[in-house]
């Protein structure tokens, strides 16, 4: 191999590495991003040390829905230097979300069915309770009301209120590690919940 062909080979290797890095950068920042679950707040749907893939692309034209699992930056006035949180969207802009004495969550006056919430040793869903003196929230325009599936282990909108959509990294859609847990994260439906008339 002469110097010229060796130099050409080196240039090809460098071009390939640069192209690979550019593709990785584009995918990581604009399409999909891996995320490691580090909190207990989404048990049993998601367990600590599991990995999910976060969709950062489709939310640009497909708005977040009730039941979506989202990764977001926690409010700076609530916690400092914390890793991103992962929770479930319960309330959309204009929704009124209430936690009642019966331990259920109401959206626009309708109790929602939440089979995904954490079950105790007896197999019973643990009741949802307020985390401060407030038990009813109206979700402003551009915000989402989020809660963890393991309500007793979750710091969520019950504590810090609705979160701005701008703080959301994306929608978790695939659990891919460990391999034994691989599966699509389904978005549940909430039949009977009326659409709010106005968005504040």
**Catalytic site residues?**
41, 87
3-class SS of residue 189:
coil
Alpha carbons 13 and 36: distance in angstroms, whole number: 32
CB 100 within 8 A of CB 25: no
Nearest in space to 116 (alpha carbons), one of 92, 154, 162, 148: 148
3-class SS of residue 33:
strand
Alpha carbons 164 and 161: distance in angstroms, whole number: 10
Helix (H) or strand (E) holding 145: strand 143-147
* Cα angle: 61, vertex 66, 70; to 5 degrees: 70
Alpha carbons 141 and 30: distance in angstroms, whole number: 24
Alpha carbons 131 and 157: distance in angstroms, whole number: 9
Alpha carbons 155 and 165: distance in angstroms, whole number: 18
Beta bridge partners of 34: 53
């Amino acid at each position: 191999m002469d110097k010229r062909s060796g130099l050409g080979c080196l240039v090809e290797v460098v071009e390939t590495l640069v192209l690979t890095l550019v593709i990785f950068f584009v995918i990581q920042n604009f399409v999909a991003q891996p995320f490691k679950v580090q909190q207990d707040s989404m048990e049993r749907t998601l367990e600590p040390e599991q990995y999910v893939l976060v969709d950062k692309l489709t939310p640009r034209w497909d708005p977040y829905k009730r039941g979506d699992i989202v990764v977001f930056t926690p409010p700076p006035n609530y916690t400092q230097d914390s890793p991103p949180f992962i929770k479930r969207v319960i309330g959309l802009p204009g929704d009124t979300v209430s936690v009642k004495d019966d331990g259920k969550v109401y959206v626009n006056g309708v109790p929602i069915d939440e089979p995904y919430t954490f079950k105790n040793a007896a197999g019973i869903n643990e009741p949802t309770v307020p985390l401060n003196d407030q038990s009813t929230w109206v979700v402003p325009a551009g915000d989402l009301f989020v809660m963890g599936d393991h309500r007793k282990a979750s710091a969520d909108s019950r504590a810090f209120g609705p979160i701005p959509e701008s703080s959301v990294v994306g929608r978790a859609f695939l659990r891919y590690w460990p391999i034994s847990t691989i599966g699509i994260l389904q978005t549940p439906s909430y039949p009977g919940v009326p659409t709010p008339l106005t968005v504040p």
